[in-house]
Amino acid sequence: MAPHAIHFIRHAEGYHNLLEDESIPDPDLTPQGKTQCQDLANDFPYFDRIDLVCASPIRRAIQTALTSTEPYLQSGKHKILALPLAQEATDKPANTPSDINRLVEEYGEVVDFHLCQDTYFDYNTKKGKFAPKRAALQARALELRKFLRDRDEHEIVVVSHGNFLHYVTGDINDDGSEAKGWWKNTEFRSYRFFPVGHEEALLEETEESVKMREASGPGEVKGSAEVANI
C-alpha cells in the first residue's frame, strides 16, 4: 500500500544561497539556515505521524533533516535515510554530494548511507541518471516517486532541493520553467499518490497543504509524456 502522505521539505539556507555562489563545494548551512531549521522543528505539525525521514546526500539537506526533524529523531530509535535520488538537479559544486567516506565520517552515526554505498554508488558523479539533463531529471523524479510509493511507511518526510522538487511534483511547464512558485528555504508541502495505482506514481498536493501556504490547487503531477524534453 502506498504511503498516506509524502512531506517534501526544501533545505535551509546554505552559504551558496547567502553568497549567491554555486562554486562552493557541498556547502554547510548558514547561522540563519540553522535558525530556519529550529523554527521548522517547532512548527512542523506531523511529527506524531512520521514513520521515515529521508534526505538528499548533499550536506545541507542532511543538516536540515538532523535539526528540523529532531522531534522524530530524539528517541534514538531512528536514522535518517540518505536518498541519492533526491539530490539537486544541476552539476555545480554546490549541488554535487561529497565523497561517501566524508559523509559517513561526519554523519554515519545518525544517517543510513546504504543506498549511496550499494544501490547508487555513482550518486555523486552527475552522470547517467544523475546527469543535469531534462530527460535524466524526469526519469530520476519518476524513480524517486516510485521508490516512495513502494515503501511500507505511512507518512514520509523527504528533505530535498528547490529545483529538483519541481520535477518530482510535476510543477514544470512545457518550456522547462518552474510552476506553482519557487520553494522557500525550509518550506514544506504535502502530497498524496493520486490517482491510486497510476504507473507514473503521480502526486497531488493535499488541500491542507495548499491552504497552509495560501496557494491555489491542488494539482496533480504531469506524466512524463506530457512534458517536453530538452
Mean pLDDT of 93-117: 98
CA distance 168 to 137: 9
Strand order of the sheet with strand 188-193? 111-112, 80-82, 52-55, 155-160, 5-10, 188-193, 203-205
* Number of C-beta neighbours around residue 152 at 10 A: 9
Q: Kindly state the percentage of the chain with pLDDT values over 90.
A: 82
Does pLDDT of 222 surpass 60? no
C-alpha cell at position 202: 503521480
Centroid of chain to Cα 185: 12
The 10s digit of each residue's pLDDT in 6-36 is 999 999 999 999 999 999 999 999 999 999 9
The 10s digit of each residue's pLDDT in 124-175 is 999 999 999 999 999 999 999 999 999 999 999 999 999 999 999 998 887 7
State pTM to two decimals.
Answer: 0.92
Which residue spans within the chain are E strands per DSSP? 5-10, 52-55, 80-82, 111-112, 155-160, 188-193, 203-205
